[in-house]
């Protein structure tokens, strides 16, 4: 099998068959070069071996920034690929892009209630002995804070005059403001008064790390620590339910109740208390899309049956009866 080289391309020719296979060398994909008089886009594919060795996974933000350059390079290569190979490459890349860069629009849990019910929430909060964790989970259940937002709450985020909470929104790189209900506000002030020394030592963070600064570089507790406490309480109360496996190379069990379920409860409760006003609920949840808010709001079977009955009280059935009486 004769092998010839033409710049960055290797040709493998099968003797006697007239069949030739061509491959791009590493020079082509790892640096700018010139093919058919055109300059290759200045994009270098990552060193796969080095990444695997370092075991470093790029963040969602980093992969989004990387995609435009990769797309430009792939479009350039697409000019020289055979039609069928190009179609196949597009299909593979489309699936890969959806998994890596796009969020799942349809929740895997379907119509299942991913949030706490009133009875479950009461049992959960009553089972927490640590005042710090109790306040943390209460902020989530009342104001719908994400776990990454609540662990970073700082004493400066609380406006004592207006009784408002400033939230560093981890999803949109912005700051949001929500009013604090009176009962939660009083609970927070009592908590700060009782733990003033610990909060001051940890630079003003409400939910301080126990071993800061001796053995912990971060002054506030981590998300994984809060999730660990949450999981222990849920298992203790026998409320742990699973409904499937996650997507990806290393599937994990999906649990119905997580720390995010407290946010689900807060959004659903707010919607019910405001007559299902989705626009107002979306503002409370701090979502940029109303469609996202709709996935948080849960309607139980009893509520649905009651709503259908109310809707039909003076509906079609009364009209049918009147017609039957005339006949």
pLDDT of residue 70: 74
Local structure of 103: helix, strand or coil:
coil
Q: Residues 76, 50: one domain?
A: yes
DSSP 155: G
Distance from C-alpha of 86 to C-alpha of 74, rounded to nearest angstrom: 10
Distance from C-alpha of 182 to C-alpha of 205, rounded to nearest angstrom: 21
* pLDDT per residue as tens, the chain (327 positions): 454 555 555 555 545 545 555 544 444 444 444 444 455 555 454 444 444 444 555 666 676 677 787 778 777 777 777 888 888 877 877 777 776 666 666 677 778 889 999 999 999 999 999 999 999 999 999 999 999 999 999 999 999 999 999 998 766 567 899 999 999 999 999 999 999 999 999 999 999 998 888 888 899 999 999 999 999 999 999 999 999 887 766 788 999 999 999 999 999 999 999 988 999 999 999 998 898 898 888 877 676 566 656 656 555 666 666 776 776
Contact 245, 96 (CB under 8 A): no
Residue 236 resides in a domain: yes
Q: Residues 48, 127: one domain?
A: no
Q: Residues 97, 122: one domain?
A: no
The structural domain count of the chain equals 3
Residue 14 resides in a domain: yes
Q: Residues 55, 6: one domain?
A: no
pLDDT of residue 52: 45
Contact 135, 187 (CB under 8 A): yes
Q: What are phi and psi of 36, to 5 degrees?
A: 55, 40
Q: Residues 288, 249: one domain?
A: yes
Residue 321 resides in a domain: no
Q: Residues 19, 49: one domain?
A: no
Residue 325 resides in a domain: no
pLDDT of residue 224: 94
Contact 83, 267 (CB under 8 A): no
pLDDT of residue 78: 76
Q: Residues 205, 91: one domain?
A: no
Q: Residues 149, 6: one domain?
A: no
Q: Residues 170, 74: one domain?
A: no
Contact 39, 31 (CB under 8 A): no
Let me know the angle formed at the C-alpha of 100 by 173 and 60, rounded to the nearest 5 degrees: 25
Residue 202 resides in a domain: yes
The pair of three-digit structure tokens given for residue 227, joined into one six-digit string: 């999730």
Residue 313 resides in a domain: no
Residue 309 resides in a domain: no
* Whole-prediction pTM: 0.66
Distance from C-alpha of 93 to C-alpha of 101, rounded to nearest angstrom: 11
Query: Of 71, 127, 62, 116, which is closest to residue 96 (Cα–Cα)?
Result: 71
Residue 26: give the domain boundaries. Answer: 1-30
The CATH number assigned to the domain holding 159 equals 1.10.443.10
Q: Residues 26, 51: one domain?
A: no
Residue 59 resides in a domain: yes
Q: Residues 97, 5: one domain?
A: no
CB pairs under 8 A, 24+ apart, for 125-129? Answer: 127/233, 127/236, 127/237, 128/229, 128/233
b/e map 184-218, b = 16+ CB within 10 Å: bbebbeebeeebeeebeebebbbbbbeebeeebee
């Amino acid at each position: 099998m004769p092998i010839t080289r033409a710049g960055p391309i290797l040709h493998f020719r099968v003797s006697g068959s007239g069949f030739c296979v061509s491959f791009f060398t590493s020079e082509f994909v790892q640096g700018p070069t010139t093919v058919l008089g055109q300059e290759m886009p200045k994009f270098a594919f990552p060193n796969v071996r080095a990444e695997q060795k370092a075991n470093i996974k790029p963040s969602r933000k980093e992969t989004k920034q990387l995609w435009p350059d990769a797309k430009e390079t792939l479009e350039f290569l697409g000019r020289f690929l055979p039609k069928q190979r190009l179609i196949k490459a597009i299909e593979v890349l489309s699936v890969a892009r959806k998994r890596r860069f796009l969020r799942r629009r349809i929740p895997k849990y379907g119509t299942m209630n991913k949030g706490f019910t009133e009875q479950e929430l009461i049992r959960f909060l009553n089972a927490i002995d640590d005042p710090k964790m109790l306040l943390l989970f209460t902020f989530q259940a009342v104001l719908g804070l994400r776990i990454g937002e609540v662990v970073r709450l700082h004493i400066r985020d609380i406006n004592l005059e207006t009784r408002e909470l400033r939230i560093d929104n981890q999803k949109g790189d912005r700051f949001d403001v929500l009013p604090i209900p009176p009962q939660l506000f009083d609970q927070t002030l009592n908590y700060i008064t009782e733990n003033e020394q610990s909060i001051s030592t940890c630079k003003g963070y409400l939910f301080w790390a126990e071993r800061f600064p001796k053995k912990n570089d971060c002054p506030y507790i981590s998300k994984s620590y809060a999730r660990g406490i949450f999981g222990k309480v849920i298992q203790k109360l026998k409320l742990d339910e699973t409904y499937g496996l996650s997507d990806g190379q290393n599937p994990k069990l999906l649990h119905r109740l997580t720390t995010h379920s407290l946010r689900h409860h807060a959004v659903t409760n707010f919607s019910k208390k405001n007559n299902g006003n989705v626009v107002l609920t979306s503002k409370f949840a701090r979502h940029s899309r109303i469609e996202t808010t709709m996935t948080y709001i849960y309607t139980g079977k009893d509520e649905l049956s009651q709503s259908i009955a109310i809707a039909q009280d003076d509906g079609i059935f009364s009209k049918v009866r009147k017609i039957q009486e005339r006949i």
